[in-house]
Chains A and B, each alone.
Chain A
C-alpha cells in the first residue's frame, strides 16, 4: 500500500456546516491540490488531519497509521504550513527554531539555515518584522527542515504576490522530485495547481465533488459554446453548469467526448481550466 494519506468517510458537524463523509487518498510521490471556494471545508479537513479538532466519524490514516492513535509518530513525519502566521510574533526566527527543533528526531539545522539563506530571511529578525510572504517562507523553512514525508499546506499562497507564489511552487516541485514524499496543498487559486498538481480534490459545501488525476480531469471536462437554440430539457442535462446570455450559452461538461457526439460541429468545445470547473460547479446555472 503506497498511500501516504487516506481519508475515509470523514465527518464533522459544526453549527451551520457539515463535512459530509468525505473520502480521498494521496499516494507517495504526488502533489494533490485541494480546491474549493471559501467555507467549502478545506481548512476543516486539514484541521481534522492535524487533529486540531475532533472528528465525529470516519478514518484518517497517514503512512497507514491512525492520525489520533499514532499522533506523535505521524506528526514526526509531517511538515505543516498554515494560511496565517501562528508563530510567536515577539520571538526571532532563531529563537523559534531553537524551540521547534528539539521536537523532531530528524531535524536538520544545516537545511534550516540553507532555507533561511535561500529565502533571504535574517535569523535575528523577529517574526513580527516580516512581511506576509516572508512569514510564509519562514513557515515553509520550518516545515521542511525535518525532512517530512507528508507536507500539508493550507492556502499557503493566498495573499502572496505572483513572484512569491511562483517561488513557493518551484520549491514544492523540487521537493516532490524525491518520490517518497507527498504534498497536500489547499488553495482557491487554481492556477497554482495547473502548474504543479498531479491530483485534484474538489470540495464544495462539505462534499467531495471529485478527487482525480489532474490530466484525466482536464481531458474529460470541457467548455462548450453554442447557440441557445441547442439547449432543451435533455441537452441541459449534459452540463454541470450553464451560463446563458442573449448571444448564446457557455457551459461545462463532465464528459467532453459524449458532448461532442451529441452536438457535433454545432458547438465549440474548448479545454476547461480548473478555475472553469470550480466556477461552474459552484455556481451551477446562471443567465444574464
Chain B
C-alpha cells in the first residue's frame, strides 16, 4: 500500500512546482490585512485537493488502473491507499503553504500574515477530507472524465451551500430547527464544536471509503 502512495507522490512532480508558485501568488494576492487569516487554509486546501485530483487523473489517463489491478494486491487496498493519500496531500498542502509563508516572512515579503498554526492545518485537513469523501466514491463509479462535470457541481455546492444556509438562517430566525441549532451553537464551547466537526468529517471519510470499496470491487476494467 505504501508503494501506491509513493506512486501518487512522485506523479505530482510537476504539480509541486505549480503549487509553490501558487502559494507565492496567494500570499501576494491576499496580502491585505482582512484576508491574511484565511490564506493558509485556503491555499493548503486548494493545493491538497489539486494533488488528489491529479492523482486520480493519472490513474485514469492511461487506464493505469489495469496495471494496479494486475498486481498482487486487493482492490480494497487500492482504494484505501487513495484515501490515505488524501491525508498525505493535505499534509503536503499545509507544508507547502506553511513553508512558503515562513520563507516569505523571513525575507520580509509578507507584512500581515502570521505563521501557520494548528487551527489552519486542521481546517485545511478537514476541508480536503470532506471534499474527497464526496469526490472519491463518485470517481470510482464514473471515472475522471465524468468527474469534470461532477466536480463543478461539488464546487458549486461547497461555495453556495454555506451562503444559502446562512441566508436561510437570517431570514427565518424563529423557525424551530434554526432557533434550536443557533442556541446549541451559541452555548457549546468552541473546542467541542471543532472536535465535533472533525469527528463528523472523518466519520464521513470512513463511510465514503466503505462505499468506494464496494463500488470498486464490482468495477469492470
Taken together as a complex, chains A and B put the C-alpha atoms of A90 and B11 apart, in Å, by 7
Query: For residues 36 through 85 of chain B, which have their beta carbon under 8 Å from a beta carbon of chain A?
Result: 58, 61-64, 66-67, 69-74
Taken together as a complex, chains A and B put the C-alpha atoms of A82 and B220 apart, in Å, by 16
Taken together as a complex, chains A and B put the C-alpha atoms of A260 and B70 apart, in Å, by 49
Q: A100 with B69: in contact, given A53-B221, A86-B62, A88-B62 (CB under 8 Å)?
A: no
Taken together as a complex, chains A and B put the C-alpha atoms of A26 and B6 apart, in Å, by 37
- Is the Cβ of B72 less than 8 Å from the Cβ of A103? yes
- Is the Cβ of A91 less than 8 Å from the Cβ of B11? yes
Scan A74-86; emit 1 where CB is below 8 A from any B CB, else 0: 1110101010111
- Is the Cβ of A88 less than 8 Å from the Cβ of B11? yes
Q: A86 with B63: in contact, given A91-B11, A103-B71 (CB under 8 Å)?
A: yes
Taken together as a complex, chains A and B put the C-alpha atoms of A287 and B74 apart, in Å, by 53
Taken together as a complex, chains A and B put the C-alpha atoms of A54 and B7 apart, in Å, by 27
Taken together as a complex, chains A and B put the C-alpha atoms of A103 and B7 apart, in Å, by 12
Which residues of the other chain, A, contact B66 by a CB distance below 8 angstroms? 52, 82, 86
Check: A120 CB closer than 8 A to any chain B CB: no
Which of chain A's residues has its CB closest to B10's CB?
A: A95
Check: A271 CB closer than 8 A to any chain B CB: no
Which residues of the other chain, A, contact B14 by a CB distance below 8 angstroms? 90
Check: B188 CB closer than 8 A to any chain A CB: no
Which residues of the other chain, A, contact B74 by a CB distance below 8 angstroms? 71-72
B173 to chain A, nearest CB (A): 53
Which residues of the other chain, A, contact B64 by a CB distance below 8 angstroms? 86-88
Check: A102 CB closer than 8 A to any chain B CB: yes
B124 to chain A, nearest CB (A): 26
Check: A89 CB closer than 8 A to any chain B CB: yes
Which residues of the other chain, A, contact B2 by a CB distance below 8 angstroms? 102
Q: A52 with B3: in contact, given A47-B221, A87-B62, A87-B64 (CB under 8 Å)?
A: no
- Checking A72, A73, A86 against B67 with a beta-carbon cut-off of 8 angstroms, the contacting residue is A86
- Is the Cβ of B13 less than 8 Å from the Cβ of A90? yes
B16 to chain A, nearest CB (A): 13
Which residues of the other chain, B, contact A53 by a CB distance below 8 angstroms? 220-221
- Is the Cβ of B220 less than 8 Å from the Cβ of A76? no
Taken together as a complex, chains A and B put the C-alpha atoms of A100 and B67 apart, in Å, by 10
Which residues of the other chain, B, contact A90 by a CB distance below 8 angstroms? 11, 13-14, 58
Which residues of the other chain, A, contact B218 by a CB distance below 8 angstroms? 54
Check: A2 CB closer than 8 A to any chain B CB: no
- Is the Cβ of A76 less than 8 Å from the Cβ of B72? yes
- Is the Cβ of B7 less than 8 Å from the Cβ of A99? yes
- Checking A52, A98, A104 against B220 with a beta-carbon cut-off of 8 angstroms, the contacting residue is A52
Which residues of the other chain, A, contact B58 by a CB distance below 8 angstroms? 88, 90
- Is the Cβ of B72 less than 8 Å from the Cβ of A52? no
- Is the Cβ of A75 less than 8 Å from the Cβ of B11? no
Which residues of the other chain, A, contact B70 by a CB distance below 8 angstroms? 50, 52, 75, 78, 80
B67 to chain A, nearest CB (A): 5
Taken together as a complex, chains A and B put the C-alpha atoms of A208 and B100 apart, in Å, by 63
Taken together as a complex, chains A and B put the C-alpha atoms of A53 and B14 apart, in Å, by 33
Which residues of the other chain, B, contact A91 by a CB distance below 8 angstroms? 7, 10-11
A174 to chain B, nearest CB (A): 23
> A86-B63, A90-B13 given. 10 additional CB < 8 A pairs?
A50-B69, A52-B69, A53-B220, A73-B72, A80-B70, A84-B63, A89-B61, A98-B6, A99-B4, A99-B6
Q: Which 3 A-B pairs have the closest CB atoms?
A: A75-B72, A53-B220, A52-B221
